[in-house]
Amino acid sequence: MYIGIDLGGTNIAVGVVTDAGEILAQDSVPTLAEREYPEIVKDMAMLCERVAKEAGCTMQDIKAIGIGCPGSIDRKNGIVSYANNLKMDHTPLAAELQKYFDLPVQVENDANAAAFGEYMINGEGVDHFIFITLGTGVGGGIIINKEIYSGFNGAGGELGHFTLVFDGEPCTCGNAGCWEAYASVTALIRQTKAAMEKNPDSLIHSIVAQQGKVNGRTAFDAAKQGDKAAQEVVDTYVSYVAAGVMSMINIFQPEKFVIGGGISKEGDRLLKPIIDFV
């Protein structure tokens, strides 16, 4: 058995999996990304022990731990070189977790890890494959000739950070106009809040009152009920996502393109306009 850790800007998710990829147990806690990394690693270790117990085993039964983390990763040394959605800069993440467990720990860019996992499950007969995930940021993994492409230094494939709009919205990476600044759920929330300010009578306000806060579903939920302002938000957001997808298809010509992340649960309301655009 193995443990997989998804360290995101919003949540830390941990699961116990078999050699065949079956998930035996999983759990998560909020990342609280503003914290220093030792506190985050402590929560990761706590979750590892918790899910191992839920799976009916101990950490001694675990062969290795894999961590998917956003940002630029030195996979050879298990170091997070830089993660703009976490307070991590040249952080020895593998070594820090090994203070808790005497196990092999492998750190990989989260989108690359997700891409390879998707490829192993859904990429049969395919040599060229792209996976993107729309969440707190925008991540992506590129499979070329059945292998993850990450450039000469392992930092390539940061698909969320090509320039979509020159001199556009500021991005957490320090640049402006990145695709992530328009196609992430964070960007969708920003766009939804802007629509609320411009449209005080919009149904979005009552949806937010029900949900407690603006989230990635808010505009989609209001649009489903016929709200014009919400539909404009959805249309604009989807157009940004589609523009980036089209760019990647033109550059890489993958045989298969998969979109993941919580917002992908919107199904055809998100995917059909993208397919039509492409």
Residue 174, SS3 per DSSP: coil
| Cα dist from 221 to 17, 21, 231, 262, 265, whole Å | 34, 34, 10, 14, 12
**234 in Cβ contact with 241 (< 8 Å):** no
CA dihedral 210, 214, 215, 216 (to 10 degrees): 110
Residue 39, SS3 per DSSP: helix
Residue 65, SS3 per DSSP: strand
Q: In the chain, pLDDT over 90 holds for what percent of residues?
A: 67
Instruction: Write down the pLDDT at residue 93.
Output: 96
Q: Show the CA angle centred on residue 264, arms to residues 26 and 239, nearest 5°.
A: 150
- The per-residue pLDDT for range 176-210, each reduced to its tens digit, is 999 999 999 999 999 999 999 999 999 999 999 99
pLDDT, one tens digit for every residue, the chain (278 residues):
999 999 988 899 999 999 888 899 999 999 998 899 999 999 999 999 999 999 999 999 999 999 998 878 888 899 998 887 788 889 999 999 999 999 999 999 887 888 888 898 878 899 999 999 898 889 889 999 999 888 877 777 888 999 999 999 999 888 999 999 999 999 999 999 999 999 999 999 999 999 999 999 999 999 999 999 999 999 999 999 999 999 999 999 999 999 988 888 888 888 888 888 87
pTM: 0.77
For strands 138-144 and 147-148, give the pairing.
antiparallel
- Token couple for 90: 């040249």
- The per-residue pLDDT for range 38-70, each reduced to its tens digit, is 999 999 999 999 999 999 999 999 999 999 988
**140 in Cβ contact with 244 (< 8 Å):** no
| Cα dist from 85 to 134, 138, 259, whole Å | 14, 11, 20
Instruction: Write down the pLDDT at residue 18.
Output: 92
Per-domain residue ranges of the chain: 2-113, 125-277
2-113 and 125-277 in the same fold: yes
Whole-angstrom distance, CA of residue 13 vs CA of residue 136: 14
Strand partners, 273: none
Sheet of 72-74, strands arranged across: 72-74, 79-83, 88-91
**159 in Cβ contact with 179 (< 8 Å):** yes
CATH of domain 125-277: 3.30.420.40
Q: Show the CA angle centred on residue 261, arms to residues 258 and 265, nearest 5°.
A: 90
Q: Which helix (H) or strand (E) holds 144?
A: strand 138-144
Instruction: Write down the pLDDT at residue 60.
Output: 94
Residues contacting 99, CB < 8 A, separation 6+: 41
Alpha carbons within 13 angstroms on the beta-carbon side of residue 182 total 26
CATH of domain 2-113: 3.30.420.40
Q: Which helix (H) or strand (E) holds 118?
A: helix 110-122
| Cα dist from 187 to 6, 66, 148, 265, whole Å | 21, 29, 27, 17
Whole-angstrom distance, CA of residue 162 vs CA of residue 150: 15
